């Protein structure tokens, strides 16, 4: 058992160094996006291959089952034509229209059910073997049956494709079917029916317009004649010359004056009513302050009386205080106050009466003025009724006559237009019987299916990878934790003897890998961690090192024990404290007793010298195990005895390594972290999640912890992500293999097929 030294040299305070990466594990993955994508594809290679295989199978099935089809096409030109010069203006649907809208309309007509039904009936599709099917038991269907008609329309519409050629007035018509002859015949018959329909519908429409215009002209002719007779009769009966402009002007002046007087009277009535209603709804004691009274003589008198009343009240109050209420002058002042109050009440009533009188006067003036205006208007209306009727009759006559003449002119133009619409459609190319099938070849279908499956698999691989929250690269861990990675610890491979009886190693050498494999990659990684820790302080390396993790089973105890062993290889005294009072493992790893330890020291049952234990394989290493598991571990960790114990250990040891519980499940690590010079966060490769590491980082930042960095544990160095770190593929650690075991053969698999995580 190693007792602590009493005369250890004083150490300067630890000052952490700012750095980005440590331990020699420097990565260039930030800018290597292509390499990351290739690694993702390699990791999900079976998903990509399965999707590509399914796509290829679908392509083969499509290539085998899809029959050969033939496509025939034709083009027509739809232009405005000569009939636009004679169109009836204002008639819906036949005026000058936008070419794009016109062509879209014609495309819809070519695909209409009525045109397709007519084409099917002319071609007798109901007897065509292609329509009936090669294995159909019937050879003829009733074309008048509604179900058969719908089937024929669907048959032609399913293979028909009509579209406008961009930036032209040309329409392309194509039809695809199993028969090359049928495809060409459908297109040509459809165009003929379309041209015929265009001529018939336009001619019939123009004829309907002409007939409607003719009927309207007959009615307008009668209306013009009747209006003319009424106008002449009115002129003879009244004599239009009797209404002079001078008489009209005098009447208008009188009406204007009366109208202005009536408006002013209404305004005065409204103001008087508003003043009266405001005074009636106001507190009588506040009338003198009302906006309707302020500034008037009434307000001045009321204000004077109220001031006089206030002065009398003041004098009476003073005399009453000095001489009492029976003093003669007090009684005289009270009498004067009563007189003043009576005067105020009378003045308020007078103000209210004055406002009421003003309101009644304004209301009466309004009524009289309005009555005079109404009387004058009635006389003016009576005088002007005849002239107004005459003007209306004159306007009606002129309107009917202009409309009649305009419609008569348009009717003559419509008659000319009726035979010109058929010249607007020209057939550019007729459909010819295709010699070769259309569509993709079988090999192209297979290739397209394979490519679609491959691209879908790649997309699915990246999608599945994006859902993976595990941390698998140094760059990811540094980005999430915002801490440098001090070391990447490879996955240790246990070297077991042929039988248990042949194993003569100590418990420490069996369980602490840097002791059992001193020249392995695992030991080299801990040497790099030791170097990074030595360089992490300014002038002085950290003395108290806390090793923790975000969640359990990430290897923090493994890192703590191996780190303490590596530090003890140098000429330094190292103390390893098992601060995990819930699930202690240090004593079992080194094969020492766990009956006394940290819990017994903190409880006062044992002293530090009694609890310390030594390891024969590492003379400079002392152990302070956890001891018996206490009922309340957190109370012991946060006690003053724990702080005093750490201060005492600082005096006698060069390095102190604390193995603490995970900080997300137990608060012991957060309590101990502020007392440490550096905190190492152990992150297990492929198991730790982004959320847990980010949460652990936030907790340590809030506790103002001096973070040393992260240690990535249990990394598979054969993985492509870490293949080549430190140039391990060029080294030959024979101690990492069993006796007589030859070096592994060089990989012959291509990059995409290399296995990940030892799978």
Asked if pLDDT for residue 273 goes beyond 60, the answer is yes
The answer as to whether 375 is a domain residue is yes
Q: Which residues of 536-570 are buried (b: 16+ CB within 10 A; e: fewer)?
A: bbeeebbbbbbbbbbbeebbbbbbbbbbbbbbbbe
Last residue of a domain, one of 396, 422, 447: 396
- CA distances (Å), origin 534, targets 82, 486, 668, 704, 711: 97, 11, 26, 22, 15
Confidence of residue 30 (pLDDT cuts 50, 70, 90): very low
Same domain, 564 and 658: yes
Same domain, 595 and 560: yes
Whole-number pLDDT of residue 547: 93
Length, in residues, of the chain: 759
The answer as to whether 666 is a domain residue is yes
Residues 500-557: pLDDT tens digits? 555 667 777 776 767 767 778 888 888 888 888 888 766 678 999 999 998 888 888 8
Whole-number pLDDT of residue 383: 57
Whole-number pLDDT of residue 282: 62
Same domain, 450 and 491: no
Same domain, 297 and 378: yes
How many CA atoms, within 13 angstroms, populate the side-chain half-sphere of residue 57? 6
Please state, in angstroms and rounded to a whole number, the distance separating the CA atoms of residues 54 and 65.
Answer: 16
The answer as to whether 193 is a domain residue is no
Last residue of a domain, one of 396, 413, 428: 396
Whole-number pLDDT of residue 601: 92
Spatial CB neighbours of 169, under 8 Å, sequence gap ≥ 6 = 77, 78, 79, 99, 103
Angle in degrees, CA 194, 83, 205, rounded to 5:
60
Same domain, 305 and 385: yes
Give how many domains the chain has, as a whole number: 3
Please state, in angstroms and rounded to a whole number, the distance separating the CA atoms of residues 177 and 756.
Answer: 52
Nearest Cα to Cα of residue 574 among 604, 533, 524: 533
Q: What is the CATH number of the domain that holds 708?
A: 3.40.50.300
Nearest Cα to Cα of residue 398 among 146, 589, 190, 223: 223
Same domain, 330 and 390: yes
User: Quick count: other Cβ atoms within 10 Å of Cβ 83?
Assistant: 19
Same domain, 669 and 713: yes
Same domain, 371 and 454: no
Last residue of a domain, one of 371, 396, 421: 396
The answer as to whether 708 is a domain residue is yes
Same domain, 583 and 718: yes
Domain range for 588 is 485-497+508-733
Bridge partner list, 75: 172, 429
Spatial CB neighbours of 387, under 8 Å, sequence gap ≥ 6 = 238, 240, 243
Same domain, 646 and 720: yes
Any idea which of 7-21, 129-143, 399-413 has the lowest mean pLDDT?
A: 7-21
Helices 180-238 & 113-123 angle (0-180, nearest 10): 130
The answer as to whether 552 is a domain residue is yes
Asked if pLDDT for residue 650 goes beyond 90, the answer is yes
Residues 172-196: pLDDT tens digits? 989 988 888 888 988 999 888 888 8
Tell me which of 283 and 309 has the higher pLDDT. Answer: 309
Please state, in angstroms and rounded to a whole number, the distance separating the CA atoms of residues 546 and 542.
Answer: 10
What mean pLDDT is predicted for residues 712-741? Answer: 52
The answer as to whether 98 is a domain residue is no
Same domain, 456 and 491: no
- CA distances (Å), origin 553, targets 160, 239, 559: 67, 118, 12
Mean pLDDT taken over the chain: 75
Confidence of residue 757 (pLDDT cuts 50, 70, 90): very low
How many CA atoms, within 13 angstroms, populate the side-chain half-sphere of residue 680? 37
Residue 593, H or E segment = none
Rg (CA), the chain: 54
Residues 484-500: pLDDT tens digits? 888 888 887 665 554 45
Any idea which of 230-244, 647-661, 683-697 has the lowest mean pLDDT?
A: 230-244
Same domain, 459 and 599: no
The answer as to whether 323 is a domain residue is yes
Which DSSP category does 332 fall into?
H
The answer as to whether 591 is a domain residue is yes
Q: Which residues of 707-722 are buried (b: 16+ CB within 10 A; e: fewer)?
A: bbbbbbbbbbbbbbbb
């Amino acid at each position: 058992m190693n007792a602590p030294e009493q005369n250890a040299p004083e150490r300067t305070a630890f000052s952490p160094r700012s750095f980005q990466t440590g331990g020699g594990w420097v990565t260039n993955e930030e800018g290597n996006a292509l390499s990351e994508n290739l690694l993702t594809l390699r990791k999900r290679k079976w998903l990509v291959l399965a999707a590509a295989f399914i796509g290829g199978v679908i392509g083969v099935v499509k290539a085998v089952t899809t029959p050969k089809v033939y496509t025939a096409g034709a083009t027509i030109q739809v232009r405005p034509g000569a009939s636009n010069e004679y169109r009836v203006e204002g008639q819906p649907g036949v005026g000058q229209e936008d070419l794009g809208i016109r062509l879209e309309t014609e495309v819809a007509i070519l695909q209409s059910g009525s045109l397709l039904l007519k084409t099917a009936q002319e071609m007798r599709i109901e007897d065509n073997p292609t329509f009936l099917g090669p294995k159909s038991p019937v050879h003829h269907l009733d074309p008048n049956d509604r179900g058969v008609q719908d089937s024929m329309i669907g048959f032609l519409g399913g293979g028909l494709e009509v579209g406008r050629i961009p930036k032209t007035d040309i329409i392309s018509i194509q039809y695809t079917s199993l028969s090359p002859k049928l495809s060409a015949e459908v297109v040509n018959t459809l165009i003929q029916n379309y041209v015929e329909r265009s001529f018939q519908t336009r001619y019939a429409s123009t004829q309907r317009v002409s007939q409607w215009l003719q009927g309207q002209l007959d009615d307008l002719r009668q209306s013009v004649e009747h209006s003319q007779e009424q106008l002449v009769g009115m002129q003879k009966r009244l004599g239009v010359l009797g209404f002079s402009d001078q008489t009209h002007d005098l009447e208008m002046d009188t009406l204007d004056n009366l109208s202005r007087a009536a408006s002013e009277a209404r305004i005065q009535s409204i103001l008087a009513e508003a003043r009266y209603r405001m005074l009636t709804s106001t507190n009588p004691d506040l009338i003198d302050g009302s906006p309707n009274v302020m500034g008037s003589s009434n307000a001045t008198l009321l204000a004077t009386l109220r001031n006089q009343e206030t002065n009398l009240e003041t004098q009476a109050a003073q005399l009453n205080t000095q001489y009492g209420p029976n003093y003669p002058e007090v009684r005289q002042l009270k009498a004067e106050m009563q007189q003043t109050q009576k005067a105020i009440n009378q003045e308020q009533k007078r103000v209210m009466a004055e406002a009421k009188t003003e309101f009644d006067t304004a209301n009466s003036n309004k009524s009289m003025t309005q009555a005079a205006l109404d009387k004058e208007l009635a006389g003016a209306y009576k005088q002007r009724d005849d002239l107004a009727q005459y003007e209306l009759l004159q306007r009606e006559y002129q309107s009917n006559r202009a409309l009649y003449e305009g419609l008569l002119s348009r009717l003559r133009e419509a008659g000319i237009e009726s035979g010109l619409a058929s010249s607007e459609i020209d057939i550019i190319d007729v459909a010819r019987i295709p010699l070769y099938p259309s569509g993709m070849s079988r090999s192209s279908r297979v290739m397209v299916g394979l490519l679609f499956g491959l691209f879908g698999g790649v997309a699915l691989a990246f999608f599945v990878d994006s859902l993976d929250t595990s941390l698998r690269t140094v760059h990811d861990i540094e980005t999430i934790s915002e801490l440098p990675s001090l070391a990447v610890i490879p996955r240790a491979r246990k070297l077991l003897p042929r039988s248990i009886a042949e194993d003569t190693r100590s418990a420490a050498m069996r369980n602490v890998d840097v002791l059992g494999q001193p020249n392995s990659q695992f030991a080299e990684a801990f040497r790099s961690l030791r170097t990074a820790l030595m360089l992490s302080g300014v002038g002085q390396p950290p003395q108290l090192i806390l090793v923790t993790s975000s969640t359990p089973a990430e290897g923090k105890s493994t890192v703590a024990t191996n780190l303490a062993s590596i530090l003890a290889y140098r000429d330094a005294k190292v103390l390893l404290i098992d601060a995990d009072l819930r699930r202690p493992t240090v004593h079992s790893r080194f094969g020492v007793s766990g009956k006394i330890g940290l819990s017994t020291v903190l409880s006062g049952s044992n002293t530090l010298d009694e609890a310390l234990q030594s390891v024969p394989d590492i003379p400079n290493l002392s152990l302070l195990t956890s001891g018996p598991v206490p009922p309340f571990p957190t109370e012991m960790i946060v006690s003053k005895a724990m702080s005093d114990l750490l201060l005492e250990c600082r005096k006698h040891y060069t390095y102190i390594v604390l193995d603490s519980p995970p900080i997300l499940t137990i608060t012991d690590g957060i309590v101990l972290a502020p007392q440490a010079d550096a905190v190492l966060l152990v992150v297990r490769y492929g198991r730790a999640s982004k959320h847990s590491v980010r949460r652990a980082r936030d907790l340590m930042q809030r506790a103002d912890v001096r973070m040393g960095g992260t240690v990535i544990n249990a990394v598979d160095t054969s993985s492509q992500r870490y293949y080549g770190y430190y140039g391990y593929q060029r080294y030959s650690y024979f101690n990492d293999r069993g006796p007589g075991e030859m070096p592994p053969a060089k990989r012959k698999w291509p990059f995409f097929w290399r296995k990940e995580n030892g799978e």
